[in-house]
Amino acid sequence: MNATWTNLLPLGIVLSSLLPGLLIFTLREEQTRLRVALNLTGVLLKLGLVGLMLWGVARGLEFRFSIPFLPGGELVLQGDALSLQFVSLSTVLWLATTIYAIGYLEDAPLRSRFFGYFSLCVSATVGLALAGNLVTFLLFYELLTLATFPLVVHRGTPQALQAGRVYLTYTLGGGALLLMGVALLHSLTGSPQFSAGGYLLPLLETRTPSLILAFALLVGGLGVKAALLPLHGWLPQAMVAPAPVSALLHAVAVVKAGAFGIVRVVYDVYGVEPVQALGLHLPLLALAAATIIYGSLKALQQRELKKLLAYSTVSQVSYITLGVALMGPIAAVGALAHLVHQGLMKVTLFYCAGNFAETLGVHRIREMDGIGQRMPLTMTAFTLAALGMIGVPPTAGFISKWYLGLGALETGQSGILLVLVLSGLLNAAYFLPLIYRGWFATPKAPWPAAATARAGRPGWRETHWMLLAPTLFTAALALLAGILAGTGFSPLGWSQLIINREFDL
């Protein structure tokens, strides 16, 4: 393999967070400046590299790095349009969350370990996004599980440990299923590169049972991370993790890894035709629809803000699966756009929840009464993101739901429209009261003067700037993604590009 820059760029993108992460492990606790410097260098470098790759992919360059690994399955990292969608999202949100986390964890213990594993997680996510075949995908998928675990149990309390055990039980079980599925497909054809339209068509006739079982195993394994219905139990529990972890990992990296995997399996491994021929999309569709409704219903019953957001994630991530399972190009555009939109909105919501908790000690929904007067900026961001989640135009959430609805009509699954409408109503039912409470209810007690060192005062300095800035940044991005949806470089535009390539339109 020639070591040209196009070959090395995917590796560079992975290493740009991996190496700083490994270095951070070796730092002593009090080397704060060096740690921050390493973190930021990694983030900015990665941002630059991703930008370079975006530019290249838009111009039709190919980025591919490979080393020999298993017989018939190399380790391949490649940058295509789909992977870049996820990579860009992760990188931008990593930037925001790193700043957020530095502020959030100021003076907390074990920061070297935290940031070390945090960088590893991002590396695994990016690697998973760039994975060029199933074996590579599997590898990063498992690494993501391992790197996330220490963050879930970071606080080291019995409660955190319990959540960690649950998390591991689910994800390792899922990992084992995925391993079996990948190995099964590998035994049939090896692990060729992901390609639009899949590579299993020739086996459709002869290996039907194997293909069906493999699909079930793969979706079962990926469904754990994507929090599909019977496999979602870990996500609400994992909310004991510190807020930046919940924000980046459980709203974006981990759950999206599952959803992204489903996209890859359906489009680039099986291909649309075989999936339809085997009738595999229907159970997936039913599962996704059920999860959407179930998650919303559960969210309605929650009293803690983070738990509510967690169930909302369960519901919202399944939109992506739903869009994929509809098997039409328009729905697919909606699904891929939602991958980004949901990420931006949900991360904002988690930042806000973290701000409330850190500044004023607010964890429960009841305690949010009148919080908008004390923290207007955060509450504004929260409102924007929540409206997006409900799907109010012109927010990003509206755009993706619109496309999903159109897609459902296009493929004749009009029942799905009903699901979308119902879920929108449910979303409104659990988000609107929050917005109402925040802005219009009167606080039960006066806000504490300054609960912690980083608590600010009302106005522009309502909380630590490192907590506030990322919140506003992502909220703005979520808004812009909706308003500028028509332009070529919006998430929607990019999704269109991907789908044109996938469906060969």
Tell me the two tokens of residue 490.
Answer: 């919006």
Site membership for other proteins, residue 187 (CB under 8 A): yes
Choose, by CB under 8 A, the member of 157, 301, 414, 487 that binds other proteins: 157
Choose, by CB under 8 A, the member of 184, 278, 417, 422 that binds other proteins: 184
Choose, by CB under 8 A, the member of 70, 418, 421, 451 that binds other proteins: 70
Site membership for other proteins, residue 139 (CB under 8 A): yes
C-alpha pair distances (Å), 50 with each of 14, 57, 81, 173, 305: 10, 10, 12, 33, 34
The closest alpha carbon to 142, from 225, 31, 57, belongs to 225
The closest alpha carbon to 357, from 247, 474, 237, belongs to 247
Q: Number of H helices and number of E strands within the chain?
A: 20, 2
Name 262's Cβ contacts closer than 8 Å, sequence gap at least 6: 219, 222, 223, 226, 284, 320, 321, 324
Pick the stretch among 65-73, 94-102, 237-245, 395-403 that binds other proteins (CB under 8 A): 65-73
Pick the stretch among 7-15, 148-156, 387-395, 403-411 that binds other proteins (CB under 8 A): 148-156
Task: Pick between residue 150 and residue 274 the one whose CB is nearest to other proteins.
Answer: 150
d(Cα 166, Cα 27) in Å, to the nearest integer? 30
Looking from the CA of 232 toward its CB, the CA atoms found within 13 Å total 26
Site membership for other proteins, residue 345 (CB under 8 A): no
Tell me the two tokens of residue 19.
Answer: 């190496």
Pick the stretch among 28-36, 139-147, 341-349, 399-407 that binds other proteins (CB under 8 A): 139-147
Residue 278 · residue 215 · CB < 8 Å: yes
Please state the closest distance from residue 127 (CB atom) to other proteins, in A: 11
Choose, by CB under 8 A, the member of 175, 343, 370, 405 that binds other proteins: 175
Task: Pick between residue 67 and residue 421 the one whose CB is nearest to other proteins.
Answer: 67
Site membership for other proteins, residue 138 (CB under 8 A): yes
Choose, by CB under 8 A, the member of 29, 51, 156, 487 that binds other proteins: 156
Q: Which residues of 218-231 are buried (b: 16+ CB within 10 A; e: fewer)?
A: bbbbbbbbbbbbeb
Secondary structure class of 341 (helix, strand, coil) = helix
Residue found under tokens 């969608």: 85
- Residues 16-35 close enough to bind other proteins by CB under 8 A: none
Give the start-end residues of each E strand in 36-98: 63-70, 73-79
Site membership for other proteins, residue 388 (CB under 8 A): no
Please state the closest distance from residue 131 (CB atom) to other proteins, in A: 11
Site membership for other proteins, residue 192 (CB under 8 A): no
Please state the closest distance from residue 118 (CB atom) to other proteins, in A: 16
Pick the stretch among 95-103, 142-150, 279-287, 388-396 that binds other proteins (CB under 8 A): 142-150
Please state the closest distance from residue 71 (CB atom) to other proteins, in A: 6
Choose, by CB under 8 A, the member of 32, 56, 58, 69 that binds other proteins: 69
Residue found under tokens 């119902």: 422
- The amino acid occupying position 137 is F
Site membership for other proteins, residue 220 (CB under 8 A): no
- Residues 83-102 close enough to bind other proteins by CB under 8 A: none
The closest alpha carbon to 407, from 297, 242, 285, 290, belongs to 285
- Name the site residues for other proteins (rule: CB under 8 A): 67-71, 75, 110, 113, 135, 138-139, 142-143, 146, 149-150, 153, 155-158, 160-161, 164-165, 168, 172-173, 175-177, 179-180, 183-184, 186-188, 209-210, 213
